[in-house]
Amino acid sequence: MTWHTGALCAIDAETTGVDIESDRIVTWSRWTIDPAQGKKVHSGWLINPGIDIPDEAAAIHGITTEHAQARGQHPASAVREIAGDLLHWAEQGAVTVAYNAPFDLSLLHRECLRYGHHREAAGIAAIRPVVDPLVLDKAVDKYRKGSRKLVDAARHYGIDLAEEDAHGSAADSLAAARVAYVIASRYDHIGRMPVADLHGMQVEWKRDQAAGLERWLRKNDPAATVARDWPFIPAPAVVQEQIR
């Protein structure tokens, strides 16, 4: 059995912002998918992040501070449930799928540290194997022009993700799994590669992709840097100390 026809665990977070060291999870979705049997099951969380949700973020995912405070789960318990759920499926052998995995996994790790869930944080940092359709797309179609946002990648691969559905964690996590599946089906060397080897290749591909983007950015900003870590960005020691 090829990895993409086995069990997949696709995840996505909508957040208060894009800083993994200080922003918080607002919604989290997880789809468990068995393509061979045509089965998929969704679980989702709405969280009161404990801080205000900026208007710019609410405009993207549709969750306001007031709504999260009224309907959202306490963040400490929600974060523990989310991390435990993800680790459970990884232990069951499901391949974790996340579009731009370093963002979702690193932010979840920081949230675990923030609420003292250190065992779960260690598990998230070590989760394997991971498949990141963004890294795969750039690897198999390096010179394609245009946006690589999920909604655009989905459109390129013939997957229905309307603009109004994008930025909802349920739609985005399912679309990420479908993009991964189409790439693996279309590119035989991706689909047939043992998933542990594919994980390792993505580490190399991400490093090369980040270096290329950094060179391009430095044409206008000589100090620009792009993180090369994948699928997880380690927390700086000072950040770990601040969170604790």
Read out DSSP for 81-126?
HHHHHHHHHHHTTPEEE-TTHHHHHHHHHHHHHHTT-HHHHHHHHT
Q: Examine residue 131 and state whether it is found in any structural domain, yes or no.
A: yes
Q: Examine residue 123 and state whether it is found in any structural domain, yes or no.
A: yes
Query: Which residue range forms the structural domain that includes residue 144?
Result: 3-239
Q: Examine residue 9 and state whether it is found in any structural domain, yes or no.
A: yes
Structural domains of the chain, count: 1
Q: Which helix (H) or strand (E) holds 152?
A: helix 150-156
Q: Beta strands of 109-235 (E only): which ranges?
A: 130-131
What is the side-by-side order of every strand in the sheet holding 39-46?
39-46, 25-34, 8-15, 95-97, 130-131
pLDDT of residue 134: 98
Q: Examine residue 224 and state whether it is found in any structural domain, yes or no.
A: yes
Q: Examine residue 38 and state whether it is found in any structural domain, yes or no.
A: yes
Rounded to two decimals, what is the model's pTM?
A: 0.94
Q: Examine residue 228 and state whether it is found in any structural domain, yes or no.
A: yes
pLDDT of residue 241: 63
Q: Cβ distance 180 to 150 under 8 Å?
A: no
Peptide linkage before 234 cis (omega within 30 of 0): no
pLDDT of residue 195: 98
CA–CA distance, 30 with 11 (Å, rounded to integer): 5
Query: What is the domain-level CATH number for residue 118?
Result: 3.30.420.10
pLDDT of residue 244: 59
Q: In which region does residue 100 sit, left (phi positive, over 0), alpha (psi from -120 to 50) or beta (all else)?
A: left
What string of pLDDT tens digits covers the 244 residues of the chain? Answer: 899 999 999 999 999 999 999 999 999 999 999 988 889 999 999 999 999 999 999 999 999 999 999 999 999 999 999 999 999 999 999 999 999 999 999 999 999 999 999 999 999 999 999 999 999 999 999 999 999 999 999 999 999 886 655 568 999 999 999 999 999 999 999 999 999 999 999 999 999 999 999 999 999 999 999 999 999 999 987 666 666 5
Q: Examine residue 127 and state whether it is found in any structural domain, yes or no.
A: yes
pLDDT of residue 237: 76
Q: Examine residue 244 and state whether it is found in any structural domain, yes or no.
A: no
